[in-house]
Amino acid sequence: QVQLVESGGGLVQPGESLRLSCVASKPIFSFVEVGWYRQAPGKQRELVASISDYGNTSYGGSVKGRFTISRDNAKNTVYLQMNSLEPEDTAVYYCNADEADGNMNVYNYWGQGTQVTVSS
């Protein structure tokens, strides 16, 4: 079974930075896509950033230019560098990975989430 474990969340003031980590139980390159989603109370879960097995990246409009997604295959880890954090970034952040089998079935895996709170 695939496991994803997030860490790095916490309480910060506006303008500060955090780096989230997602450690997978198998090599990152084995997934067709890995990414970060977030969900705030009363809101739907939204895409923050993703990276494909080809290295293509996508970002949500509200974080573009402030957040950066990266990966380290040697450590089976995906990172989310978050700069210039704003109160509206407050949410639970989830790591996600998609895996395809030989029959082209796609399986979605999710971590337990890590809380990010941006407040004065």
Q: With contact defined as beta carbons under 8 Å apart, do 33 and 53 qualify?
A: yes
- Token output for 81: 């560098």
Q: What Rg value do the Cα atoms of the chain yield, rounded?
A: 14
pLDDT for the residue numbered 16: 98
pLDDT for the residue numbered 104: 86
Structure confidence at residue 101 as a pLDDT band (50, 70, 90)? confident
Q: What is the 3-state secondary structure (H, E, C) of 46-93?
A: EEEEEEECCCCEEECCCCCCCEEEEEEHHHCEEEEEECCCCHHHCEEE
pLDDT for the residue numbered 79: 97
- Local structure of 29: helix, strand or coil: helix
5-56 pLDDT per residue, tens: 999 999 999 999 999 999 999 988 889 999 999 999 999 999 999 999 888 9
